[in-house]
Amino acid sequence: FGSGSKVIHDVVGQFGILEGNGGDLRVGLPWQAVHDGTKLQHEPLRLTVIIEASRERVADILSRHSGVRDLVTHNWLRLVVEEAGERYRWTPTAGWQLL
């Protein structure tokens, strides 16, 4: 699929990567990681992180830690908070949603 070395990738949107600080846009990385050219090798999944804390506290942490916030905002992981026996998932478009 032509994505090359994964060591120096810079993600562009949610559709491709650049190597280093320039070069051609390469869009094959997501499929290269899960597909062998004829069939899926495994079902593509994102890491789900479940935190037992208040939504307010988690939002405060996300506001102060851009690296963690970026992982959630750019859908590299799914964030679920368990608060008072209920679970909420945070998405960048809808905020906290009761599961």
Structure confidence at residue 1 (pLDDT):
47
Query: Model pTM greater than 0.85?
Result: no
Residue 13: its H or E element: none
Considering only CA atoms, give the Rg of the chain: 17
Would you call 86 helix, strand, or coil by DSSP? strand
Query: 48-92 pLDDT, tens per residue?
Result: 999 999 999 999 999 999 999 999 998 889 999 999 999 999 998
Query: 29-47 pLDDT, tens per residue?
Result: 666 677 777 888 777 778 9
